[in-house]
Amino acid sequence: MVKNIYLIGLGLIGGSIALSIKQKDPSIHIIGFDINEDQVMLAKKIGAIDEISPTLFPNLASVDIIFISTPVQQTINIIEQLQAVELKQGVIITDVGSTKVKIVECATKYLNGRIKFIGGHPMAGSHKSGILAAKPHLFENAFYILTPSEYVTPHDLSVLTEVLDGTKANFIEMSPEEHDKVTGVISHFPHIVAASLVYQAESYEEQFPLVKRLAAGGFRDITRIASSNPAMWRDILLHNKGPLLNLFEEWISEMERVKSFVENEQADQLYTYFEHAKQYRDGLPEKQKGAIPSFYDLFVDVPDYPGIISEITGYLAKEEISLTNIRIIETREEIYGVLRLSFQTERDRELAIDCIGKYSNYDTFII
């Protein structure tokens, strides 16, 4: 039975894990550490942890599970240092990193059979960061990937998933290699593409000054992930080098194929290309959380006149529906509605659709 947990890193992910554990089983004692003293104090204040550790490695002899919720390179550094720390026999150590091969290899190298290392990757996040953005339901309906090392037994996995049961996540077990290839396709490489599109737009701005203003609509939306933490993505790309190098080659080949369609004016092939992409994209799950945090946006087709924002927000306020952002769309190509409302959850967006329909005749759209 798990009684004591040590959690390193009290940001959005670590904080949300702690809150979900405490909500399910308040009797579990959680000790927390973070290099940011303000974060760890806030974590104690909001009840995410029971005790603050003044050092990275306090007395861990009675700790049953250690969660490492830090960037990938820091996680590897911590694992290397743990080999010299006195730990409980059979302690479970897990992480939350976005790459898994190098982390599990490191754990296998430095931690022997007395320690059960289970790589972890909760595939959910938020556009906000820090302990104050943490929520016990952050991982609800999200995939939580587990990549156990060679010493891990089915019982060890069940112990960890039982502790994490309060997250209401969907647990999936796969090898570290499978994980890194899959996340490379659906998360890591899309961030590269988004950043490269931004670079391309910037290169045209000097010649065409209107680029930045026109990019405020759909272009800004499809490149949102380029605004992610640069240091984090630098490390992720370096740690997932192998799969990404293969994806670069495949992407270049794919672009050459489309380029040839355009160059040779192959209308039928172009139509089929976009039709197939549309069908596959339209068939993706809508309510299932994936590797990239979802944007719960709602577009509202309203006339652009003074007071329209306060009118819409007034409707939402009546029903006590919280907004995270609201923006007037200027460049509306392929976007329905002049207002874009952003919400924290799918549920809030659904409530907003009902609310706006209740108080007005404005049409709402999800894209």
Q: 248 lies in a domain?
A: yes
How many independent structural domains does the chain possess? 3
The CATH number of the domain holding residue 210 is 1.10.3660.10
| Pair 8, 146 in one domain | yes
Same domain, 184 and 166: no
- What is the structure's pLDDT at 336? 47
Q: Which domain holds residue 183?
A: 179-282
Q: Is residue 291 part of a domain?
A: no
249 and 225 co-located in one domain = yes
Q: Three-state SS string across 185-245, please?
A: HHHHHHHHHHHHHHHHHHHHHCCCCCHHHHCCCHHHHHCHHHHCCHHHHHHHHHHCHHHHH
Is residue 289 one of the residues assigned to a domain? no
Whether residues 277 and 150 share a domain: the answer is no
Residue 232 is assigned to a structural domain of this protein: yes
Question: Where residue 301 sits, what CATH number does that domain have?
Answer: 3.30.70.260
Residues 179 and 162: their CA atoms lie apart, in Å, by 22
Q: 262 vs 325, which has greater pLDDT?
A: 262
**Which CATH number belongs to the domain containing residue 32 in this structure?**
3.40.50.720
Domain limit, last residue, from 282, 309, 330? 282
Residue 332 has pLDDT above 60, yes or no: no
Of the residues 121, 155, 174, the one at which a domain ends: 174
- Whether the pLDDT of residue 191 is over 90: the answer is yes
Domain contains 119: yes
- Judge if pTM exceeds 0.85: no
Residue 142 has a pLDDT of: 86
Distance CA 198, CA 222 (A): 10
Which amino acid is residue 101, in one-letter code?
A: V
Give the pLDDT of residue 224: 84
Neighbour count for residue 150 (Cβ, 10 Å)? 9
**Residue 187 falls inside a structural domain:** yes
Q: Do 170 and 185 fall within a single domain?
A: no
Residue 287 lies in a domain: no
Judgement on whether residues 169 and 122 belong to the same structural domain of the protein:
yes
For residue range 212-235, what is the model confidence (pLDDT) as tens digits? 888 876 788 788 888 888 988 999
Instruction: Looking at the structure, tell me whether residues 246 and 317 fall in a common domain.
Output: no
